[in-house]
C-alpha cells in the first residue's frame, strides 16, 4: 500500500472520468509535464492502486443472460472460490459473510447455458452445498467513480 497525496487523488479522479486521457492532457489538468504525469500514473499502476481496462457490455456482445449466484460452501471457501472463478462465464467472485459464502456474477448466452452452468459446473464442485441464481432484469447502476480516500 502506498500513501496517496493530493496530486495522486486528483490523477485518480481524472482517470476515473477518462481512463484514455493522454499524459499531456492529464498533465495540463493537474499542473505537471507529460513525463512527470506518466511517472506518477506508472507509480499508481505499479502499486496496484490503478488499473486501466476496457469495460465491455455483455448485452452488446451477445451475452443476454446475467445473474448473481449465491453459493454455500462447506470446507475451504477459498478453494471453492478458485474453482468457481476459473469458469469462463464467471466475471467475478466475492467471499462474503451472511447468508452466502460466495457470490459469483456470471454472463451466459442463453437460459440453457445458465442452467448448464448451475447444474453441470457449479453444483458438482467439491464443497458446494447450495447454489442459488438471481437473474438480472438489467443493470440499474454501474459506477466506476467514487471518492478517493
Per the structure, the complete domain to which residue 96 belongs is given by: 65-135
pLDDT above 80 (res 146): no
| Together in a domain, 41 and 92 | no
- pLDDT at residue number 60: 84
Whole-model pTM?
0.79
CATH number at residue 18: 1.10.10.10
Length of the chain equals 149
3-state secondary structure 23-83: HHHHHHHHCCCHHHHHHHHHHHHHCCCCCCCCCCCCCCCCCCEEEEEEEEECCCHHHHHHH
The enclosing H or E element of 13 equals helix 6-17
Tell me, yes or no, whether 69 lies in a domain.
Answer: yes
In a domain, 143, yes or no: no
- 129, part of any domain: yes
On the question of pLDDT at 144 being above 80, the answer is no
User: Would you say residue 145 has pLDDT above 90?
Assistant: no
C-alpha separations of 30 from 16, 24, 27, 50, 144 in Å:
14, 10, 5, 17, 20
29-83 per-position pLDDT tens digit: 999 999 999 999 999 999 999 999 888 888 888 889 999 999 999 989 999 999 9
pLDDT at 101 over 90: yes
Amino acid at each position: 500500500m502506498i500513501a496517496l497525496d493530493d496530486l495522486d487523488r486528483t490523477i485518480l479522479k481524472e482517470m476515473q472520468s477518462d481512463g484514455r486521457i493522454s499524459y499531456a492532457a492529464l498533465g495540463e489538468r493537474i499542473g505537471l509535464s507529460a513525463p512527470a504525469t506518466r511517472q506518477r500514473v506508472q507509480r499508481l499502476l505499479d502499486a496496484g492502486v490503478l488499473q486501466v481496462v476496457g469495460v465491455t457490455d455483455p448485452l452488446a456482445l451477445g451475452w443476454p443472460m446475467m445473474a448473481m449466484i449465491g453459493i454455500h460452501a462447506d470446507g475451504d471457501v477459498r478453494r471453492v472460490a478458485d474453482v468457481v472463478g476459473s469458469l469462463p462465464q464467471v466475471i467475478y467472485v466475492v467471499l462474503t459473510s451472511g447468508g452466502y459464502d460466495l457470490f459469483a456474477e456470471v454472463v451466459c448466452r442463453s437460459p440453457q447455458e445458465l442452467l448448464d452452468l448451475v447444474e453441470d459446473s457449479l453444483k458438482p464442485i467439491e464443497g458446494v452445498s447450495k447454489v442459488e441464481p438471481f437473474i438480472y432484469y438489467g443493470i440499474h447502476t454501474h459506477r466506476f467513480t467514487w471518492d478517493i480516500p
